[in-house]
Structure 1
Amino acid sequence: MRIDAFNHFFPKKYFEALQNSGLPDIGKRSTNIPAIYDLDVRRKIIDSFPDYKQILSLAAPTLEQLSKGDPDLAVEYAKIGNDGMAELCEKYPDHFAGFIAQAPLTARDAGVGETERAIKELGACGAQIYTNVNGKPVDRPEFRPFFAAMEKLDKPIWTHPARAANFPDYLDEKKSLYEIWWAFGWAYETAAMMARLVFSKIMDDHPDLKVVVHHFGSIVPTLEGRVGPGWDQLGTRTSDEDYGALLKSLKKRPLDYFKHSFYPDTATFTSEGAMKLGFGFFDFDKVIFASDCPFDPEKGTMYIRETIRILDDYGMPKADLDKVYYKNLERITGKTFVK
Structure 2
Amino acid sequence: MKKIDAYTHFCPLTFIEFLESSTEKQPHVFRKLFSATPTLTDPDLRLRLMDKNGIDMHVLVPLPWIEATPTIYTNPIVAAQAAKLCNDELYQIVSHHPDRFLGVAILPTTNSEILMAEFERAINELGFIGAVIFIGPTAVRGDDQIYEPLYQRAAELGVPLWLHPCRPGNYPDYIDENKSEYLLWQTLGWLMDTSSVMVRLVFSGIFQRYPQIKFITHHHGALIPLFAKRMQESYTYFECNSDVKLNANISQPYINHFKNFYCDTATLGYEPLLLEMAYNFFGVDHILFGSDTPMDTKAGDILTSETDRSIANLNITEDEREKIYGLNFINLIKRYN
Conserved 8 A contact 1:110-1:145: no
User: Which residue is equivalent to 2:276?
Assistant: 276
C-alpha contact (below 8 Å) 1:103/1:115 kept by paired residues: yes
- Give the Cα–Cα distance (whole angstroms) in 2 for the partners of residues 336 and 316 of structure 1: 29
Contact in 1 for aligned 2:19/2:82 (Cα 8 Å): no
Report the residue type matching 2:10 in the other structure: F
* Percent identity over paired residues: 29
Q: Is the 8 A contact 1:18 1:26 kept in 2?
A: no
Query: Cα distance 1:86–1:263, how it changes in 2: closer, same or farther (>3 A)?
Result: same
Runs of 4+ residues deviating >6 angstroms? none
Matched residues in 2 for 1:326 and 1:2: separation?
A: 5
- Higher mean alpha-carbon deviation, 327-336 vs 298-307, is at 327-336
Q: CA contact under 8 A between 1:215 and 1:267: conserved in structure 2? A: yes
Q: Aligned pair count?
A: 331
Match of 1:261 in 2: 260
> Matches of 1:238 and 1:19 in 2, distance apart?
51
Q: Could you tell me which residue of structure 1 aligns to residue 297 of structure 2?
A: 297
> 1:329 deviation in Å?
0.9
Distance 1:276 1:35 in 2: 29
How high is the TM-score relative to the length of structure 1? 0.90
Counterpart Cα distance in 2 of 1:334 and 1:256:
25
- Letter of the 1:14 partner, please give it: F
Please say if residues 71 and 108 of structure 1, whose CA atoms lie closer than 8 Å, have aligned partners that are also in contact: no
Structure 1 residue aligned with 2:103, among 81, 99, 104?
Answer: 99
Partner of 1:250: 250
Q: How far apart in 2 are the matches of 1:18 and 1:164?
A: 16
Contact 2:68–2:168 (CA under 8 A) maintained in structure 1: no
SS in 1 for 2:39: helix
CA distance in 2, matches of 1:17, 1:110: 18
Which one of 160, 172, 190 corresponds to residue 168 of structure 1? 172
SS of the residue corresponding to residue 113 of structure 2 reads coil
The 5-angstrom pairing of residues 1-339 of structure 1 reads 1-22=2-23, 23=25, 24-63=28-67, 65=69, 67-96=72-101, 98-109=102-113, 111-132=115-136, 134-235=138-239, 243-244=244-245, 246-258=246-258, 260-270=259-269, 271-335=271-335
Q: How far apart are the structure 1 equivalents of 2:242 and 2:80? A: 40
Counterparts of 2:107 and 2:210, CA distance in 1: 18
Of 189-198 and 218-227, more deviation after overlay is shown by 218-227
* Change beyond 3 A, Cα 1:45–1:125: same
Separation in 2 of the partners of 1:118 and 1:336?
14
CA gap of 1:238–1:33, structure 2 versus 1, over 3 A, is farther
How far apart are the structure 2 equivalents of 1:38 and 1:5?
19
Contact 1:109 1:145 in 2 (8 A): no
User: Using the alignment, how far apart are the partners of 1:237 and 1:196 within structure 2?
Assistant: 22
1:2-53 CA distance string (max 9 Å, x none): 0111111112432432443445423212222111112332222122122422
Cα offset, 1:200, TM superposition: 1.9
**Structure 2 stretches of 5 or more lacking a match?**
none
TM normalised by structure 2 equals 0.91
How far 1:254 sits from its partner (Å)? 1.4
Q: In the superposition, relative to structure 1, how do residues 164 and 235 fare at CA in structure 2: closer, same or farther (>3 Å)?
A: farther
Unaligned runs of 5+ in 1: none
Give the conservation status (yes or no) of the 8 Å contact 2:285–2:323.
Answer: yes
Structure 1 counterpart of 2:222, one-letter code: S
> Equivalents in 2 of 1:123, 1:171: separation in Å?
44
Of stretches 10-19 and 248-257 in structure 1, the one that deviates more from structure 2 is 10-19
Secondary structure of 1:290 counterpart: coil
Residue 74 (structure 1) shift? 1.6
